[in-house]
Structure 1
Amino acid sequence: MSITGSTAQTPVPEPVTPPAVTAPPDKPRNGMFASLRVRNYRLFFSGQIISNVGTWMQRIAQDWLVFTLSGNDPVALGIAVALQFTPTLLLSLWAGVLADRVDKRKLLIAIQTGTLVQAVMLGVLVLTDVAVLWHVYLLCFVLGILSALEVPTRQSFVAEMVGKNQVANAVALNSSIFNMARIVGPAIAGFAIVAVGTGWLFLANAVSTLAVIAGLALMKGDQLFRGPAVARGKGQLREGLRYVRGRSDLMTVMVLVFFVSTFGITFFTSLAIVAGNVFGTEADGYGMLSTLLAVGTFTGALASARRGSRRKPSVRVLLLSAFALGAIEFGTAFMPTYLAFGLALVPLGFATITFLNTANALVQTSVSPQMRGRVMGLYVLVLMGGNPAGGPMTGWMAETFGGRSPFYLGGAIAALAVVVCAVVLYRARRTPLRSGMRLG
């Protein structure tokens, strides 16, 4: 059943240039690992397995470096998060336009090369013992620029690798390796920081990025499911915004993603605060909390992959998982011991990744191929664009109301947002809507 609402949609103009070389017809495949039967996706998947471990090692090392350089100041950690995500506000919409115009594979190779250089610079600064807080802030901003360009491009590239029928499965498999790395990376990082410091972890991430670049370079262009090329022209960004505005289902999902990500999914930042300021642990304690959260997200990603190989994503799963996220996060805030708090992170991670995967797959499978880059640019904006405010907000709440406050306040706001969006969606069912989204 489709979500209901306004039927108005902005017409998509015919492309000026001929379609790019495309792969053979997209045939449905069953099984949890169905997308891995596609050669290009296997190359991408293999590179991501290695690179994501390095990414999470750098993320933990970077947070801990900021935390220690600032004298365990939660606000400083929030500033670093804000600097890393501010470019998303400025560039993600434009990055979506760029992704619709150019060869996504070549663009991703260029972006990953820049990410490698950023990690090397940060590692050298730390290992030569000259790193100060403003160095880290500056490189956080550089990484934010690269991420703002990379995420919409990578998200929209998934459909080109596997075809529309396998998008939900591929998105979930991407999440599974990302969250498997979230288990392994923080655990390694926590002990490695204690043993050798943060500098070598940045260099390790730089080396791991080579795996992604190699995988992208080895892909066969004639096996990609490319949509029609979008010629350069005026007003393409506004055209993408009008397309989404004419789809009440997309608008509601975007609003829900914004509120849940900005206020609810702040625990990736606040875990360092809880570990250090609430339970008094060192970097290894922080790494263990991150690992327990990742156990839940990894399990949730595998469940999403299995579900994605059997049926299309539905709005009912989106709403239920988002409400579970808020409710579990609220309850986690009041866990009395380090062990109880850590164990509560497992179901929280499961609900979080189920929500994120479902939202991503819903958006990708319900939009026009020549609009996919621009729509995913907007999706990334609402998903990550609240972090420049959410990062300092999390630090301020922890400093003012205690280290647990980002959990109970964020959980309450997320659950409330779900209730409001559910009411809007179910009231809109009375008017037919041409969309690819399933209610249940």
Structure 2
Amino acid sequence: MFASLRVPNYRLFAGGQVVSLIGTWMQRVAQDWLVLDLSGGSATALGIAAALQFSPTLALSLWGGVLADRVDKRRMLIAVQVAMGLCALVLGLADVSGVVTLWQVYLLCLLLGCFSALDVPVRQAFVSELVGPGQVGNAVALNSLTFNLARIVGPSVAGLLIVAVGTGWVFLINAASFVGVVAGLLLMNQAGLFRSERVPRGSGQLREGLRYVRGRPDLVAVLTLVFLVSTFGINFYMTLALLARNVFGRGAEAYGLLTTLLAVGSVIGATLAARRAGRPRLRLVVGSGLVFGVLVTAAGLMPTYLAAGIALVPVGVAALTFTTAANATVQLSVDPTMRGRVMGLYILLFLGSTPLGAPLLGVLAERLGGRAPLVVGGAVTVVSVLVVGALLLRRCGAGGWNPIGWVRALRTEQG
């Protein structure tokens, strides 16, 4: 289950990530609270801050993937992590000193979003250099496990600290947490890295990456599923809030509990993924996406708050199984010189789908009620998985392709 931790470089990376991710989740809670304080409780201001932080993913993640193929990933991660830590430090100092204003928070949200958009594809592509191709699936699962444990611990700690010492000190603690990540990257044995060949700087490299994906129907299928499932199914920040408040008439603490139950399921899913040996198969991506859609629909139909909360645990398991299998499948099936660009596209489709899906699901909730985003989103997910699977089989049988031979070749390639 913890095979990747036998690799010294991965241990250094994972140790730093544990500390930093808890700090990151603490900052997210404190940042939202600070925006509400400065704006007099404005939901619009909170939405602007979120948009400024996450919109750069749409513009920069593909270019982050290009950079990941060109540069030393370890050095780039050090630079970006330092920059993100400085954003937290500046915000914390401004808050503690009492001079912070809403526009300053907006500006730092935008800067943090830009650095994060560059960080994520590089960090994703760096996993294979840490552990080698034989352990990528396990390392991706352990990363997901760490992320979701931090998602449980970070907000709880942040809530206590905000009451005890204020939001400013939470930002400063997060700034200090980046020391662990940077130290781990600096202490790595560079000779022990499984480095991929760096791509020389040249024109048209982004288009080259997109053409590469277009010529791979297996990649197109997985990335299409990632986009559709993320757009209509994995929009829990909005759908769970609507379920708690508008359907069951509960408060913020009830919303927090639903989020925690989902995170518990995610931890279980990540643990199961880490225990699986070998490379994930394409059928696991399709199957887990189908199961996820069914479970999301069922959760939206639950008659009571308690039943909905319990139903979210298997939803979390299925969601993590799908995302982990999709991530590892993409990383392990691409040419190493293309991995950064492909992962940049993966991140764009996975995270960049939120600004598209959230308004659509919001309109559904306004017209059909608070259950509609989960019920309809889950149903659309199921249909999407079935349609993409059928189109993939049809493509493999067209143009002289041999579907049986293609499936056998794919299974051989994926272990």
Same fold (TM over 0.5): yes
1:339 maps onto 2:325 in alignment: no
Q: Is the 8 A contact 1:122 1:199 kept in 2?
A: yes
Q: What is the identity, as a one-letter code, of the residue corresponding to 1:368?
A: D
**Pick from 360, 363, 383: which aligns with 1:416?**
383
Correspondent of 2:158 among 189, 198, 201: 189
Q: Alpha-carbon deviations, 1:322-375, whole Å to 9, x = none?
A: 122222222222334443332222111111111100000000000111111111
Structure 1: segments with no counterpart, 5+ residues: 1-31
Match of 2:337 in 1: 370
Q: Which structure shows the higher helix fraction?
A: 2
Could you tell me which of 249, 258, 277 is aligned with 2:227? 258
What do residues 357-395 of structure 1 show as CA deviations (whole Å, max 9, x unaligned)?
000000000011111111111111111122233344455
Runs of 4 or more consecutive aligned structure 1 residues displaced over 6 Å after TM superposition = 436-440
1:397-437 per-residue CA deviation (whole Å, 9 max, x = no partner) reads 55565444432232222222111112122334543446578
Q: 1:394 to 1:51 in 2, by over 3 A?
A: farther
1:141 alignment counterpart: 110
Alignment of 1:272-291 (within 5 A): 272-275=241-244, 284-291=253-260
Matches within 5 A, 1:82-97: 82-97=51-66
Give the counterpart of 1:233 among 199, 202, 206. 202
Q: 2:286 aligns with which of 313, 319, 325?
A: 319
Counterpart CA distance in 2 for 1:355 and 1:304 is: 10
* Cα 1:206–1:437 shift into 2, 3 Å: farther
Pair 1:188–1:336, CA change in 2 (3 A): farther
Q: Assess, with a 3 A threshold, how the Cα gap between structure 1 residues 92 and 61 changes in structure 2: closer, same or farther.
A: same
Match of 1:162 in 2: 131
Distance 1:399 1:200 in 2: 38
Determine the C-alpha separation between the residues in 1 that align with 2:96 and 2:369: 34
> For residue 25 of structure 1, what is the aligned residue in structure 2?
none
**Rounded Cα–Cα distance in structure 2 between residues aligned with 1:401 and 1:136:** 35
Q: CA deviation at 1:126?
A: 4.0
* Aligned match for 1:203, one of 172, 175, 186: 172
Deviates more, 1:200-209 or 1:388-397: 388-397
Shift of 1:313: 0.6
Contact 1:183–1:294 (CA<8 Å) still a contact in 2?
Answer: yes
Q: Deviations over 1:252-271 (max 9, x none)?
A: 11111111112211103444
Match of 1:16 in 2: none
The CA distance in 1 between the partners of 2:104 and 2:61, in whole Å, is: 24
- Distance 1:435-1:316 versus aligned 2 partners, 3 A rule: closer
SS at match of 2:273: helix
Task: Assess if the C-alpha contact under 8 Å between 1:275 and 1:286 holds in 2.
Answer: yes
Alpha-carbon contact 2:361-2:377 (below 8 Å) kept: no
What is the deviation of 1:128? 4.6
Measured against aligned partners, the alpha-carbon deviations of 1:107-152 in whole angstroms (never above 9, x if no partner) come to 0011111111222233344445555554443332222211110111
**Helix, strand or coil: the match of 2:202?**
coil
Identity of aligned residues (%): 57
Query: Which residues in structure 2 correspond to 1:169-188 (within 5 Å)?
Result: 169-188=138-157
Note the residue ranges of structure 2 that are not aligned, 5 or more in a row: none
Superposition deviation, residue 182 in structure 1: 1.5
- The residue aligned with 2:72 is 103
Please give the alpha-carbon distance, in whole angstroms, between the structure 1 residues aligned to 2:127 and 2:367.
42
Q: Which moved more, 1:349-358 or 1:388-397?
A: 388-397
Which deviates more from structure 2 when the two are superposed, residues 75-84 or residues 275-284? 275-284
SS at match of 2:180: helix
Contact 2:134–2:278 (Cα < 8 Å) also in 1: no
> Residue type of the partner of 1:155?
Q
Q: Greater relative contact order: 1 or 2 (C-alpha under 8 angstroms, separation 6 or more)? A: 1
Q: Do the aligned residues in 2 keep the contact of 1:100 with 1:370 (CA within 8 Å)?
A: yes
8 Å Cα contact 1:162-1:170 kept in structure 2: yes
Amino acid at match of 2:290: F
Structure 1: how far apart are the matches of 2:250 and 2:31?
A: 17
Give the whole-Å Cα distance in 2 for the aligned partners of 1:196 and 1:254: 44
Offset from partner CA, 1:32-83 (integer Å, 9 cap, x none)? 1111111100100111111111122222333444456666666654444332
Residue deviations 1:226-261 (CA, integer Å, cap 9, x gap) = 112211111111111111111011011111111111
Greater CA deviation, 48-57 or 127-136?
127-136
2:88 is the counterpart of 1:119? yes
1:361: which partner in 2?
328
2:21 maps to which of 52, 68, 74: 52
Q: 1:351 aligns with which of 286, 298, 318?
A: 318
Partner of 2:355: 388
CA-based RMSD of the aligned residues comes to 2.7
Checking the alignment, whether the CA contact within 8 Å between 2:62 and 2:348 is kept in structure 1 is yes
C-alpha distance in structure 2 between counterparts of 1:282 and 1:190, whole Å: 16
8 Å CA contact 2:26, 2:174 repeated in 1? yes
Which range moves more in the overlay, 372-381 or 329-338? 329-338
Q: CA deviation at 1:303?
A: 0.4
Question: What is the distance in 2 between the residues matched to 1:135 and 1:336?
Answer: 44
Aligned counterparts of 1:409 and 1:132: Cα–Cα separation in 2: 40
